Structure 1
């Protein structure tokens, strides 16, 4: 029974069945419980000297201080030292037992607080009540794994709270400290181990676990490191991972980060490199310098190094043997240092991300298209992103689809050389997407191949269209292809019947800009007096007409009209006139015709080789001579008949 002195309310009775099961439970008693009464301190000392379990309280018994919270125990022990109780002297054995019991109480004071409950709730105690462990804690914990795990979790919790307090003392917010410590589980374990190690040091042997953990945290300088990394734009998940990755001195993190700044790694990329570089902390700064110098000697410029390392931090995690073998792999394919350096700058993952076996398999697969080793080297130097494509997920499905469209191996080789980007795009999302109901309702057909079929391109000609212009597969259907088709049909006079023919003959029209190329050419031809319908027929006959530059078209048209004195209808009938060179084909052949006094249509004048043209000219000359000689004979016969004198009949 607890009697509350100086207050008028019913006394509080503590029954054994209603006592809380944990030593950190706070009992609702009055402050007079902590009065300096000899009876209370004698009961506390008697309870501390007892080696047996707690006995049930009788009606006249005083309160049991072991039922109090850990703070109350610590306060009572402190006051018992400051106000010793008169009694017989204590020998050495009793003093050692008392020190051992104090250590037990101190260990229990490290336990975490009980979860707060709302007023009036009932906390059912565990069976057996609360017992103090015997002095030999190591023997008890060795025999009970659950107790050992529980004690370890208690120490981890204490270390985590100590680390949070240190971070808050470093002027970091509560939320930031809590979030950071929640990810520093490995470092918290190191704090626990370090605090336990300091127990063997004489100057720390008398300190509590909290003090030893705090001392270890201060010696590790983790707070100053966190503040410095945060100042360098690193997020708390990156900071936590870097600290956990560093096996030894945490100052190594700062030294490596400063070295990364020296090779032009900037801003947020520092955290990315530290986290993703792999075994970066296993290398010394001299080894990292050796890696950078080796790359510089093989074509990677020094001012590119920060960009390369930022995009592929795994390069710094390679050993010198691995790096040399990878560089030799590319140089053996015919690359020079300039091509290698450019390739690494364009796509650093081609050097440090993939394994040598995976890279070799991709090179062998590219050779199956008929490419030589040097061709593959030039191809990878031009488009190193091919190394990032999966054979099974990207290349094989694309090859099967192209073969289904009628593209043979030579056509695939041309696609690979002319536009290697085709082998880097996703088949299902770009070339032959799987449609959804929303996509079909909002945007219609998203399949480029099916779109070609809808505008009139024959199925057997689609493969030729793709081989002739591989970039067709990389264009957006609704942002690039369809607007060009609509422009040709509405502004250039191409009929719906001929639009498929136009795209099949010259798919490069899809790659032309409407405002900067097509519209300008259409307006120029219309300004010459060509009607829209006639222009559409000219485009259907010769679609390349719209891809020429105006500066090339204007001199040819001026020569046709002013020098050759040909009508506009000749140009409408033969729009390929603009495809021939003015100085090398049109002017020389026109002079030959003028010299021999013959005349050809533009189609026969410009087409064919020089030998065929000379044969035509000779045939026309002979024909003209026969024609002229025939007229001469006819004129001579007419003259003879006019000079004949008629003979009179007798």
Structure 2
């Protein structure tokens, strides 16, 4: 038998107070004596309901007197009720019972200010509400140290029934493939989720994202773990208008689904106050409307940033330090939207490195506009690439100015082996010709008897696959994919 059940049964009717409520000293000793983790319990604790809730049945006049005494007692203890919430609920007639509740909640870690913010906690029965709920939360994995913070964030949980209200929500989360060990994380990030109805907002939100947007069902669980708030969003007023607006800009729905799978917090951006003003700001700074879908696909957080202020600051910096005019800055942002959030000290390092190699300010500005990805390169790697370019390839520095994408390729895995192949055949070609192509295309060129002409590469891929933290390298050899799949494959490498 579980410890609390044994305590309740050993108490019996003789050990109970006149009101049939467990003495405070036993309740407090239960929470102070239990081990820090209760995950080893395989069954929920057992509870015995009192036969009479408040003890003596009172008349109307006695109830009014008891309420006045109870409210005066709470005020003397430092608990206020500014909105009069306790006027509409039933309070215990015995001050001893009220004292037990107050002592228990304070011992749990709540303060009198917390109770004043939500005084209805004192209307919850210890045995029928508070202890069952707290025990269930501990069973789910919410540590005892976090119980007070959890109740502070969502005090209404102590009014809930474990069997009727809480357990169905947890069962619904498990049905969405949320791992059991991630349940505490979900509850900690979004305690109000326990107040949702599984067959209401939760089911409609998931059904829309899977059935209409095209989110893969297997990705719903990770989405909930990282951003559970979307389960409480209404489809008609929040999720659908946001998705409709983003797709109206030209972003395919399939790409939007892939974005939401990776970054579900996009759903939390306010459409009217954040997303639409950001789109208007980008257009006002010279970013072309037809390029907006690519900008969003490459850097989805741009929809939720203070874009106008960031663009203004970066545009001024580019003009002052890099001598790049507003049009050039707009073209650079189109190719690398992350520029709006890039630290200015980070930007200056590769610029100063190039200038130190004898490249003029005007040429450096041209290189940045053509390939802004060079601003993300590590200086150590750039040094190695320049050394190989000058010592082994023995080419003029003007070729780097014409093709700055050279710095975005891996020296060991692409530049060196391909150059050795080209040099062994005595082929004289541009950097673009032997670097900006897939392995399959390069082999075809090596087997050919002539050098075919260079063709413009797709937008945002010149310079090769730019590897950033958390990125995924994908193959570009498959020519049978749909346009949407190719677009997504070429943009996911920048996430």
TM-score (norm 1): 0.55
Which residue of 2 is the match for residue 346 of structure 1? 189
**Whole-angstrom distance in 2 between the partners of 1:519 and 1:417:** 34
Q: Rate the CA distance shift 1:343–1:457 in 2: closer, same or farther, 3 A.
A: same
> Are 1:297 and 2:126 an aligned pair?
no
Structure 1 position 427, deviation (Å): 1.6
Which residue of 1 is the match for residue 363 of structure 2? 534
Q: Rate the CA distance shift 1:250–1:548 in 2: closer, same or farther, 3 A.
A: farther
> Are 1:608 and 2:453 an aligned pair?
no
Q: Rate the CA distance shift 1:404–1:268 in 2: closer, same or farther, 3 A.
A: same
Which residue of 2 is the match for residue 390 of structure 1? 234
Structure 1: unaligned runs, 5 residues or longer: 1-189, 197-212, 433-446, 623-650
Alpha-carbon displacement from aligned partner over 1:562-585 (angstroms, at most 9, x marks no partner): 343332212111111111111111
> 3-state SS of the aligned residue for 1:268?
helix
Match of 1:380 among 224, 241, 255: 224
**Whole-angstrom distance in 1 between the partners of 2:333 and 2:364:** 16
- In angstroms, what is the RMSD of aligned CA positions? 3.1
Q: Rate the CA distance shift 1:195–1:470 in 2: closer, same or farther, 3 A.
A: closer
Q: Rate the CA distance shift 1:521–1:259 in 2: closer, same or farther, 3 A.
A: farther
Which residue of 1 is the match for residue 294 of structure 2? 464
**Whole-angstrom distance in 2 between the partners of 1:463 and 1:217:** 63
Structure 2 contact 201–233 (Cα < 8 Å) conserved: no
Structure 1 position 330, deviation (Å): 0.4
Q: How many residues align?
A: 391
Q: Rate the CA distance shift 1:614–1:241 in 2: closer, same or farther, 3 A.
A: closer
> Are 1:270 and 2:111 an aligned pair?
no
> Are 1:226 and 2:69 an aligned pair?
no
Q: Rate the CA distance shift 1:589–1:403 in 2: closer, same or farther, 3 A.
A: closer
**Whole-angstrom distance in 1 between the partners of 2:379 and 2:80:** 56
Q: Rate the CA distance shift 1:408–1:257 in 2: closer, same or farther, 3 A.
A: farther
Q: Which structure has more RCO (C-alpha within 8 Å, separation ≥ 6)?
A: 2
> Are 1:506 and 2:351 an aligned pair?
no
Structure 1 position 539, deviation (Å): 1.8
Structure 1 position 311, deviation (Å): 0.8
Which residue of 2 is the match for residue 400 of structure 1? 244
> Are 1:579 and 2:408 an aligned pair?
yes
Structure 2 contact 368–374 (Cα < 8 Å) conserved: yes
Structure 2 contact 282–307 (Cα < 8 Å) conserved: no
Q: Rate the CA distance shift 1:616–1:359 in 2: closer, same or farther, 3 A.
A: closer
Which residue of 2 is the match for residue 77 of structure 1? none
> Are 1:317 and 2:162 an aligned pair?
no
> 3-state SS of the aligned residue for 2:244?
helix
Structure 1 position 556, deviation (Å): 1.8
Pairs within 5 Å for 1:242-641 = 242=86, 245-248=89-92, 249-266=94-111, 268-275=113-120, 281-285=123-127, 287-321=129-163, 322-352=165-195, 356-367=199-210, 368-432=212-276, 447-515=277-345, 517-596=346-425, 598-617=427-446
TM-score (norm 2): 0.70
Alpha-carbon displacement from aligned partner over 1:219-259 (angstroms, at most 9, x marks no partner): x465444222x1xxx44527x53476343234434323332
Structure 1 contact 415–470 (Cα < 8 Å) conserved: yes
> 3-state SS of the aligned residue for 1:237?
coil
Q: Rate the CA distance shift 1:341–1:484 in 2: closer, same or farther, 3 A.
A: same
Which residue of 1 is the match for residue 10 of structure 2? none
Alpha-carbon displacement from aligned partner over 1:365-412 (angstroms, at most 9, x marks no partner): 222211233322221111112234332332232233223312231132
Structure 1 position 453, deviation (Å): 2.5
**Whole-angstrom distance in 2 between the partners of 1:329 and 1:562:** 63
Alpha-carbon displacement from aligned partner over 1:600-625 (angstroms, at most 9, x marks no partner): 43222323244544554565899xxx
**Whole-angstrom distance in 2 between the partners of 1:492 and 1:257:** 64
> 3-state SS of the aligned residue for 1:519?
helix
**Whole-angstrom distance in 1 between the partners of 2:230 and 2:337:** 25
Which structure has the larger Rg over C-alpha atoms?
1
**Whole-angstrom distance in 1 between the partners of 2:67 and 2:179:** 52
Which residue of 1 is the match for residue 33 of structure 2? none
Structure 2 contact 178–224 (Cα < 8 Å) conserved: no
> 3-state SS of the aligned residue for 2:393?
coil
**Whole-angstrom distance in 2 between the partners of 1:310 and 1:354:** 21
